[in-house]
Structure 1
């Protein structure tokens, strides 16, 4: 094949540049056209979302809820159906609990004299797992507690609250307006999780606790270890390979909070649920999954007032500043009916006295 002359090479290169410029113009035109079409459709999309139309899982409008407490929630539901019992779970038993946890229990009992306080341990959890018919149970204490709290409320109703939570006001002073739907849980729009499970309220046999337990029972149809590698719940072959390699390293002993790329897929049958591993927030993802596959579950959740828990976590969020925090600064964080602490990084004894003092002043 003869070599091209310099003039011919210049001609070929010039034509190639023209062709590239042409395709660039075409792509720009198509993008601009699509953008204009999408812009014209946005009002309709907003109307569909406002009407509750179901889109793909990532598009569920978590914040579209009623004026909740002020409007009385579900009109056909009588107030006062929540049993007056407070349930907590400490796997090792009451005697083995640290002093801070025991102080919290005492504070809940003093502030709520008309409520019973029940402390469950591992033996209660095992009995509830048998009643639930679980094929397998989580290996972590946290995972077993996650199932027990929902099972306990579904059977007995009442209030579940994590140990290490300090009450700053009686339940009767603030809870009732939030429970007209027969269920209440904080939700977390900032972290894109529809529910938090450290504080739950339910009447016995509510549609949400029933549906949540159904999802848990189906999910624990096989033994699962805690997720220890970031990519082992990714889609595709790379995720499957990462899962096998992580399993060969053995069980992870330290706590690791890893968020999968696709949270719903990580717990979905036919997806991440087919792998022998569970993410840290698996109960929250199962709740989200139920919202997308069960219309009665979604309808029941739509009737629940939506409240974020940020105010109730203020002290916890400032745990790195405990050492230089003044008493007045600490007291300014207590503008909520309760404060959930980190047991691994708790305030000093003097600071705890200030917080518990707030609870004593609120006692009836």
Structure 2
């Protein structure tokens, strides 16, 4: 009897060891994830008086590298409605918006409806009142692959709790950046968060929270992104020497260029914008031929009771009918100044 118990215990220990080796998963190291995010130009250690945190998202723990799944970067604490062990919001975004929890039970179940066939509203930051606008990323190609791959994996797999299915319609996926308002961008080790809006058959407005894949999960050879003129800001100067003073005006300068030789036309207009802490302070429409550098300047000031200044520069390619179809895309000018 004792030998049989010992043998049973040995089998149990073997099975436990095998399970631990092959099935155990844990959240990626929070300190490393936060350090990686803070090394970039978007996230800061605190925002609106709240510290940054790295937290798990219950419906995204199945997507792993090795034994690690990735979390989300939020500020503050979970809040809102509480149901089935989940808060409606995981915290707040850098801008102070509620960070919607993808794992929270949906208010309406899709019952197998095809995601691509819904009446999604393009450019919700322009067409949905109160949708919000992230001037750094909304409508741009910066996270095109993260958006496409994250949403395809989630809504084509078995972990999405909204009940949607997908049909892979390229007209939808090739333009996904035009439908998603980015509340929080992804990083190498953190999921980003986006939101889309659609009208149902009765005209009611609904939103859908969508995951934006961490770069560590991107496939080695994703489908190529659509090609567009490569507009970018090649240099920028905030006009501040030392520390910016509240109430004082500064002249910022930046230079716009177009570096894709496949788009040598000078007739494709672009909208060039600059934002001071999310508020637009400059806008112009112009043409930027390949290889040219165009300088712009604008006045800005530091509002009272603001300790951080974030200047963003965004370049939007205007819709234009051409032999290749309709241009309707954006390129992010990868230049953010912090003072």
TM-score by length of 2: 0.27
TM-score by length of 1: 0.26
Determine which structure has the larger strand proportion and give its number: 2
Determine which structure has the larger helix proportion and give its number: 1
Which of the pair has more CA radius of gyration? 1
Greater RCO (CA < 8 Å, at least 6 residues apart): 1
